[in-house]
Structure 1
Amino acid sequence: MKTKKFGLFLLAFLLVLATTGCGSKNAQTTGGSKSSGEASSAGNGNDSKKLRDVQVVLDWTPNTNHTGLYVAKEKGYYAAEGLNVEIVQPGSGGADAMVASGKVPFGVSVQENVTQARTQGVPLVSIAAIIQHNTSGFAAPVDRNIKTPKDFEGKTYGGWGSPVEKAIIGSIMENDKADVNKVKFVNMGEADYFTAVKRDIDFAWIFYGWTGIEAELRKQPLDMLYVKDFSDKLDYYTPVLVTNEKQIKEDPELVKSFMRATSKGYQFAIQHPEDAANILIKAVPELDKDLVMASQKWLSPRYQDDAPRWGEQKEEVWKGYSDWMYEHKLLDKPLDVSSAYTNDFLP
């Protein structure tokens, strides 16, 4: 079965990385951080105290999903906790493999990956929801006339080849009495959304807070169908911050201190989106300034949204999505939800 092979491949891949240490050597530093071992002191009362070097690996290139990390570094929140945090981009193994293997203690992931990994014995644990509700969905240029899932029929979808994509598209099309087999699926490879839709793609899965905002700035209006609008089970956490079980067991104080500072970073970004955007632009100057600013203003109120505190995760969200994955044969067994996430390290 294709989905079973996908799960077994993920497990084997992560476990090989865990034993060989592949991936971390190819990590790229971002944001002007000092390399491991360089840090000796910093401000905020830590001038005479050696800081502990810690890495956090991103899931992709830097963007406004990650702003709180850069704020916590720039504002000295990590230094105040005795940490010199280096923000790195994933190597060839990917962020999940680097964290699961213990090569990096913290990383950015998504609930989909953690769910799949946990049911295959990979010890990732989500420690915070970066965004409280799912801001992703299927986007199409307005001239493709895709207003409902029924309109996917006869169109070409550009994706990355995951079984989850067809399952979700099929699920929401089924609710609209439409046939997913009438959709052509194409792997976009390295092409971005804007390049793909100028070629042979009609619609793709995007995060509105980045690609959707970029479309606004380009004056290229979209029809956007948010995944969460079609089922409560699809309003899952994406992205999340993760660590691994060994890190929690052997050094919970590091997890607590990292999360205290990170929470302050995201809280600052919630309250001061323009200042936070400028911090991200300063750290990663190659980013488009207008896009970062517009994206940050859109995303900042959505970090916490209706949750009692930033990062809070709910059992029903984890159970709902994992049940949905199991029902659609994307998991070999149900998820033990209690082991997949924790709120214990949120301040």
Structure 2
Amino acid sequence: MRKNWKSMVKMTAAAAMTAAFAAGMAGCGNRAETSLEPVTVILDYVANTNHTGMYAALDQGYYKEAGLDVNIIEPTEGATATLIAVGKGDFGISYQEDVTVARTSQDPLPIKAIAALIQHNTSGFVTYADKDIHSPKDFEGKTYAGWGGPGEEAVLKAVMAKDGGDFSKLNMVISDGSGFEALKDKADIMWFFEGWDNVKCKLSDFPINYMELRRLDERLDYYTPVIIANEDTLKNKPEMVKKFLAATAKGYEYAIRQPQESARILQKYAPDYSLEMLTMSQEYLAGKYMEDTDRWGSMKDSVWDNYTDFMVEYGVIDKAVPAGECYTNEFLPQ
């Protein structure tokens, strides 16, 4: 039942990509005619607090000050890397694992990560508190509901093995999208992001046990999410890339300094979420965007190599790829 994400990364159907792009553009209105350089950013999902720095840069005029007319759109699920690879957008939001899969696939996508939105992996496994599941070994005989990501099964195998558990005794299904309530009667384990899903649980007084991924295995402290770009864009428009990242860095620095105001800015673009929820999420992520670094967006070879080796070991990819082929810091502000 799990989706084949390797095939999704390699998706090249023109109709699907065109439809995704058109759908995202439909609700954005016409660009004002200006002398600013147009730039399109394709998100990985709906607007959320991972993206706040970009919306802050938009709202505070940092992009315009840099001479850029930035348009942020939402994609169809799973299509961002492909859309960026074929030039449908200038920048996209993706993840280290997806970039690595894209670079090592049979038909490699010409994309690179150019900035990390968050310095550490802020996700983990969650169970309903009343079920008395406290470690990966306890996953035996239980049901995990996930999204079918490229490294999902590998991560579960690794953390269960490290804790003395037997992965073959875990039942894996695709989530039906019903959210955390499914942990009561439809599933036992889910993969949550602490700054988003855990906040929802707290606001709903829904008790959970949370197992932080990077504490279960240090190799799983990979970059998620990242900003990606097409290699042609990096080669042919280096100054535009630098201006975009400099303005984006200012946006994230603003979000770090003023999380409450940043939550109000984000709500303009994500009105379906309560201000209370966005504020709690923003206050959490304010300490995560630049955790353990003094340079927003910077990435390290060691983080890429550790997770690449992990993906090779567990068969997510067939061969290792040098970190330098997957990411670069050269366009970040100094």
Superposed CA deviations along residues 54-91 of structure 1, whole A, max 9, x for unmatched, are: 11011111110010010000000000011111110003
Sort the Cα spacing of 1:19 and 1:158 in 2 relative to 1 into closer, same or farther, 3 A. Answer: closer
**1:128–1:343 Cα contact (<8 Å) kept:** yes
Distance in 1 separating the partners of 2:205 and 2:262? 25
Contact in 2 for aligned 1:21/1:101 (Cα 8 Å): no
2:269 aligned partner, one-letter code: A
Aligned to 2:32: 39
Among 44, 53, 61, the residue aligned to 1:68: 53
Output the CA distance in 2 between the equivalents of 1:176 and 1:158. 20
| Structure-2 separation of matches of 1:210 and 1:168 | 21
Offset, 1:101 = 1.1
2:128 corresponds to 1:141: yes
Q: Deviations over 1:72-115 (max 9, x none)?
A: 00000000011111110003662111111111010111111001
Aligned residues: 330
The question of 1:295 aligning with 2:249 is answered: no
Residue in structure 1 matched with residue 93 of structure 2 by the alignment = 108
Cα displacement (A) at 1:26:
2.2
Aligned to 1:47: none
Residue 44 of structure 1: aligned partner: none
How many angstroms apart in 2 are the aligned matches of 1:166 and 1:283?
34
The aligned counterpart of 2:236 is: 250
The percentage of counterpart residues that share the same residue type is 40
Give 2:328's aligned amino acid.
Answer: T
Classify the secondary structure of the residue corresponding to 2:120. Answer: coil
Structure-2 change in CA distance of 1:20 and 1:311 (3 Å): closer
Q: 1:300: Cα distance to partner?
A: 0.8
* 1:203 matched residue in structure 2: 189
Matched, 1:194 2:174: no
Secondary structure at the aligned position of 1:194 is classed as: coil
Quick one: structure 1 residues 118 and 151, their matched pair in 2 at CA, closer, same or farther if it must change by over 3 Å? same
Distance across 2 between alignment mates of 1:201 and 1:19: 32
Q: Which runs of 5+ in 2 are unaligned?
A: none
Corresponding letter in the other structure for 1:283: Y
Q: Do structure 1's residue 80 and structure 2's residue 73 form an aligned pair? A: no
Q: How much has 1:214 moved relative to structure 2? A: 1.0
Is 1:55 the counterpart of 2:40? The answer is: yes
Tell me, yes or no, if structure 1 residue 285 matches structure 2 residue 271. yes
Aligned counterpart for 1:122 among listed residues 106, 109, 122: 109
Residue 22 of structure 1 and its aligned partner are, at CA, apart by 5.3
The reply on whether 1:25 has 2:22 as its aligned counterpart is yes
What is the aligned partner in structure 2 of residue 309 from structure 1?
A: 295
- Contact kept? 1:105, 1:244, Cα under 8 Å: yes
Give the RMSD, CA atoms, in angstroms. Answer: 2.0
Structure 1's unaligned 5+ residue stretches are 42-49
TM-score computed with the length of structure 2 as normaliser? 0.93
Cα distance between partner residues in 1 of 2:301 and 2:182: 37
SS at match of 1:193: coil
SS at match of 1:54: strand
Of the candidates 64, 77, 81, which is equivalent to residue 96 of structure 1? 81
The answer to whether the aligner puts 1:171 opposite 2:168 as a matched pair is no
For residues 20 and 293 of structure 1, do their structure 2 counterparts lie closer, same or farther at Cα, with a shift above 3 Å needed? closer
**Which deviates further from its counterpart, 210-219 or 163-172?**
163-172
Name the TM-score, length of structure 1 as normaliser.
Answer: 0.90
- Aligned pair partner of 2:199 in 195, 203, 213: 213
CA contact (8 A) 1:28 1:91 kept: no
Higher mean Cα deviation, 96-105 or 72-81?
96-105
8 A Cα contact 1:25 1:91, kept in partner: no
Write out per-residue CA displacement over residues 152-209 of structure 1, whole angstroms, 9 at most, x where no aligned residue: 11111001233522211111110111101111111113x1422422431111001110
Contact 1:17 1:23 in 2 (8 A): no
